[in-house]
Chains A and B, each alone.
Chain A
Amino acid sequence: AGPAEGVDPRAKWQPQDNDIQSCDYWRHCSIDGNICDCSGGSLTNCPPGTKLATASWVASCYNPTDGQSYLIAYRDCCGANQPGRCPCLNTEGELPVYRPEFANDIIWCFGAEDDAMTYHCTISPIVGKAS
C-alpha cells in the first residue's frame, strides 16, 4: 500500500481516516517501515510472536475527521524479519538523528522483550493530544 501510481511522491501530505493499511492514513504521518496491521498485528498491537518495544519516536499527526492533532508514539514490533507488507515512509515533522525524539530512521526496538532488535513492523498508537 505504497503511494498510488500517478501520485506525486513529493506532494504535500493528505491524511485520510478510512483505511489503516494505506500509507496516507492520518496516524501514519511519520511512519517508517511496515504497517503491523498488514502482517497479523493491528493498528496498535504487534503481530503474534513479535516483541513490542517500549521506547519510540513520536510525531504530531492531524486527524482530518475531528480537526485535532494527536501525538503518535511509533513503537516497533521486533524479533522477526520484515514482513515486506504495506511498506511506508512518511516524514511529517520528522527531524534528523541528532533530535532522536522525532527521528524515524532509528530502529526503535529498545525495551522489547528478550532484547529483540530486529525490525518487523510499526504500530501507530495515540499517546495524547498534541498542540
Chain B
Amino acid sequence: MNSATTLRSILGALALSAIGATGAWAQEKITVPTEEGVAATEVPADAIVVNIAKMKYQTPELTIKTGDTVYWINNEVMPHNVAFKKGVVDEGEFRGDMLGKDEAYAITFNEAGTFDYFCTPHPFMRAKVIVE
C-alpha cells in the first residue's frame, strides 16, 4: 500500500462517508422507467426537464403533481446523477445512473411530498422536487 492511497482511504472516509449503498430500482414513492440513462433526444418535447450544467441542477426547486415524470438532462461532459439519501424514497438510499453529456434520466413521483436529492460524486450539488 503506498502512502498516497493510504491518504486516499482516510480522506475518502472523512469526506464522503455519508454516501452509502445503492437502493432498489422500484419503490412505492417513485418509479424509474429505465435503470440506465437514455439519449436526451428520447425525452418527450413536453416533458418536465431539469437541466444539469456548470456543476448545478438548473432548477433547484421544482414543483410537480403526483404521477408526473421528471427528466434530468446532463448538458456537460462532467458525469452527474440523481441520488436520494436513506428514507427519502425508500428505507435505503437510492442512487441513479451516472449520466454522460446529453444523457437523460427519468423518475416518476407517485406520492406527494418533498424529495431532496443530490449528486453522488458531488454532494454539494443539491436540489428538490416538491410533489403536490
Contacts and interface: CB of A to CB of B under 8 A. Distances in A.
A87 B97 CA distance: 29
A107 B8 contact: yes
B15 A119 contact: no
B122 interface: yes
A108 interface: yes
A100 B16 contact: yes
A105 B121 contact: no
A54 to B, nearest CB: 5
Contact of B78 (A101, A106, A111): A101
Contacts, number: 91
B8 A57 contact: no
A97 interface: yes
Interface string A58-92: 10000000000001010000000010100101000
Contact of B8 (A58, A71, A119, A128): A119
B98 A128 contact: no
Interface in B88-132: 95, 97-98, 100-101, 120-124
B5 A127 contact: no
Contacts of B97: 54
A14 B77 CA distance: 24
Contacts of A107: 8-9, 12-13
B5 A100 contact: no
A56 interface: yes
Most buried by B among A57, A89, A107: A107
Interface core residue of B5, B81, B97 (most chain A CB under 10 Å): B5
Given A100-B122, A111-B95, 6 more contacts: A84-B1, A87-B5, A89-B2, A106-B11, A110-B16, A119-B8
